[in-house]
Structure formats: C-alpha cells, structure tokens
Amino acid sequence: MASEFDLIARYFTRTAPAGLLGVGDDCALFPVPPGEQVATSTDLLLEGRHFFPDVDPRALGHKALAVNLSDLAAMGARPIGCVLGLALPRLDEPWLAAFADGFHALADAHGCPLIGGDTTRSAHDLAISVTVFGAVPAGQALRRDGAQAGDDIWVSGELGAADVAYRLLDGQYPADGSLLAATRDALEWPQPQVALGLALRGIAHAAIDLSDGLLQDLGHILAASRVGACLEYARMPAATALAGLDEALLRRAVLGGGDVYQLCFTAPAARRDAVAQAARAANARVTRVGHTLAQAGLTVLDGQGQPMTALPAGFDHFP
Ligand code: TPP
C-alpha cells in the first residue's frame, strides 16, 4: 500500500529548476526578480461541478493547471511555479499517473513547475486545488480597471465550443457524436493564452479571461473601469464547429458560454497594429468585437444593427 509520501515522490516530485526549492520542505522557495511583483491566483475544481467523474484524468490534470495559467495570462504575468492540493476519495494509481502526466506536460510547456502541495484522502468527491505564482514588472500587470471610453474590445480564439460540449455531455442537448467530437477539446483541453497576455503588456488597457462567459466577464471590466460597451454579434469568432447549430443556442454559447480560457481585452483604437503584432508574436488569433463607451451599460447589436434583447447571463455557482 502506497503512503502519502510514496505517492508524492512517485507522481508529484520533479527536480526543481535551479534557484527554486521545490517539493520536500515545509515551504517552497522562489526568487522574485528585482522590480517585479508576484501575481498569484487559486482555482478549486470539484467533481460534478467543474468536471464529470469519468473525464480522462490526463485531460483533468491539464485543465486543473490550465484554468490557473489562464488567470496569469489575463494579468500579463509570466509563470514561476504552482502548488497542487488533492483530496482523493480512493487510491487509483493508473488514474493518478495519468493526471500527473497531463499536469506536468502543461507545466513543462509553460515553465511553471510544481513546487509544492498536499495530498489527502477524502470521504467526499474528488477535489483539486491549484495555486499559481507568476511575476510581472511592477505596475505593468493587465487589470480589470484600466479600460477607457473609446477602446476597442478584443477577444482571442474562438467562442462557444466548450459550452456546447458541456451541454452535450450533460445530456441537455440530444446526443450528437460528431458535434461532441468537434467541441470536446475546447472543454477538456483548454490552451491558456499566456504568451498573448505577455505580448499585450503595454498595449492593452484592461484584460480578463472568459471563464464565466463573454458578457459576464466583460461586465467585470466595465464595472471596474466605470465604462459601458457596445458589441457587434456579427463580429464574434464563433467556433467553426458550431456552424449548423440552432441560432438561439449559438447565441447563448457564444455570448454566455463559460469555461473559455481565452482573453477579452481592451486597447486604444490607435494601437490596432500593435495588437495584431502581439497576436502574431504569440501565435494567437484575436478578433475586434466592439468598443467601450463613456456611458455605463452593455449593448449587443445583432446582424441588422438592432440591440439584442434577453442576453444570456453567463456561469454562476449560486444562481
Ligand atoms: N458542470 C460540469 C460537470 N462541468 C463543467 N465544465 C460545467 C459544469 C460548467 N462550468 C463549470 S465551472 C465553469 C463552468 C462554465 C466556469 C468557471 O468556473 P469558476 O469556478 O467560476 O472559475 P473562475 O471563474 O473562478 O476561474
């Protein structure tokens, strides 16, 4: 029978990069370059609420870190390292090995080594908590409160696929194997836009990731920055896989669908070329979807230029 220490040694201990003290002591240690601030964020993932019990453990390991790296991306912070808390209802070593593989692969890809954490047995469902640490030059973080009236509003990547995959797996939509195959990676293998966040430092006025859906998350930027916005639905980068979807469901997925680890950001209209260049450098797709206004409120224009009514609400744990 493996002890907690065996499990940690087997699956979660890697040689820490030079200059860091990783797994093994009571605390991890990492240096912060002079003139930089630490950016930190934590996300809890619960079975049944954030993921289905039968999800591929490799994908789950990837996503547990990805949703946290996405928060660093939204702030324009460079990853330093992460810690992992695991509450395991049972000991299933093949499951744990696959989970650790998915986690470490993304950690390696982003230079964000696992430097500590805690593993316990749980009498309840599986719970995963990841905390990331990043660094950003003092005063240069992308925040929610920096948008100015007249800014362009941009989103990265495509919208809507994760919401559709979730509703298919949840049985809210009739089974559709080809639609699920075309949308599932967006839900289970999100790619955090860390390089884009870094490239947007000094260009974007404000940024956020779209974990709770475009309208809700953009709403946070607008509230913090005390501005309003007008979006054009026809400009939205709806995922190509959703081409045949019913129009009302498509709107809900694109405007309200959560679990999208892409960025929404604002930038001055005079910096469009700089935004395009940043996106190229980061190998990211960006789309201009509207602009901010001095007057509070959020309007979405339909294809005919008319304000849409009954806008979707976005994701809420306590609806
Ligand atoms: N139920 C399951 C089983 N899987 C899902 N992916 C969802 C529901 C949908 N869902 C879960 S969390 C979430 C969504 C859309 C949004 C993000 O979660 P949250 O805990 O609010 O992350 P944060 O915004 O704090 O980063």
Which protein residue's CA is at the shortest distance from atom 26 of ligand 1?
211
Take atom 5 of ligand 1 and give the residue whose Cα is closest.
50
Kindly report, residue by residue over 112-139, the tens digit of the pLDDT: 999 999 999 999 999 999 999 999 999 9
- Provide the β-strand partners of residue 226: none
Q: Dihedral of CA 317/63/69/198: which sign?
A: negative
Asked if pLDDT for residue 303 goes beyond 70, the answer is yes
The atom of ligand 1 lying closest to the CA of 70 is: 26
Share of the chain above pLDDT 90, in %: 87
Tens of pLDDT along 56-77?
999 999 999 999 999 999 999 9
Question: 218 pLDDT exceeds 80?
Answer: yes
Q: Which residues line ligand 1 (CB under 6 A)?
A: 43, 48-52, 67, 166, 211-212, 258-259, 315
pLDDT bucket at 216, cuts 50 / 70 / 90: very high
How many angstroms separate the alpha carbon of residue 20 from the centre of ligand 1?
A: 32
Question: Which residues have C-beta within 8 Å of that of residue 22, sequence separation ≥ 6?
Answer: 13, 14, 15, 16, 28, 81, 113, 114, 115, 116
Atom of ligand 1 nearest to the CA of 45: 20
Q: What is the mean pLDDT of the chain?
A: 95
The pLDDT value recorded for residue 16 is 81
From the list 259, 267, 238, the residue with the least C-alpha distance to 165 is 259
Task: Give the rounded percent of residues in the chain with a pLDDT score beyond 70.
Answer: 100
ipTM above 0.90, yes or no: yes
Which residue among 42, 49, 68 has the greatest number of ligand 1 atoms within 8 angstroms of its CB, and so is best to mutate? 49
Alpha helices in the chain (DSSP H): 4-7, 57-75, 93-109, 161-169, 177-188, 194-199, 214-225, 247-251, 272-281
CB atoms < 10 A from the CB of 35, how many?
10
Q: Please give the average per-residue pLDDT across 144-166, as a whole number.
A: 98
Q: Find the DSSP H helices in 116-160.
A: none
CA 6/CA 208 separation, integer angstroms: 39
Q: How far is the CA of 49 from the centre of ligand 1 (A)?
A: 7
Ligand 1 pocket mutation pick from 40, 51, 211 by most atoms within 8 angstroms of CB: 211
- Closest-CA residue, ligand 1 atom 22, reads 211
User: Which residue CA neighbors atom 3 of ligand 1 most closely?
Assistant: 51
